[in-house]
Amino acid sequence: MFRSKRAHQKLRSTHTLNGVANGPGGSHDALPRIVLVVEDHPDTQSAVAVHLSMQGFEVLVASDGETALQLARARRPSLVYIDLCLPRISGYEVCERIRADAELRGIVILMTSAGGAVEKQAHSLEAGADIYLPKPFDLEELTEYIEASLASRS
């Protein structure tokens, strides 16, 4: 039916509006698709936020760990994208604090960083991350990871 997984993914994402998925199976209510992007590099933060917004997600952004935790508590995102190297509080600590909070621990956590992928992946998973995606990554690949992770939680 679809030429590729990406073509299917693009088609699915174009049929999502305001948290309601309208796919081939008809309309159904869905949980809000809120993603908190925690990234201190402005170009990366902007690219990820704009891309996810274009895919139908409501996107929140934070440039440091403290702000990320405040936004997570206030808005309860479906998924948090966390860069490991952040000012004030490291990405690892943000992840650990989310997992320690009874009201937040169900949030999907995707951690990312450049270089040293094996050690960083192991440490990320130990801290409680669901996914580790090394940089650089393709934005479509990021979307696929997010979509798959959120689908497995619903």
pLDDT, averaged per 10 consecutive residues of the chain (154 residues), comes to 33 30 35 90 97 97 98 98 95 98 97 88 95 94 95 84
Domain ranges of the chain: 31-153
Give the model's pLDDT for residue 17: 27
Segment 91-136, tens digit of pLDDT: 999 999 999 999 999 999 999 999 877 899 999 999 999 999 999 9
Give the model's pLDDT for residue 153: 82
Q: How far apart are CA 125 and CA 136, in angstroms?
A: 19
Burial class (CB in 10 A: 0-12, 13-18, 19+), 120: buried
Give the count of beta carbons closer than 10 Å to the beta carbon of residue 83: 24
- The CATH architecture assigned to 31-153 reads 3-Layer(aba) Sandwich (3.40)
Residues 6+ apart with CB under 8 A from 133: 110, 111, 112, 141, 142, 145
Residues 35/146, Cβ–Cβ less than 8 Å: yes
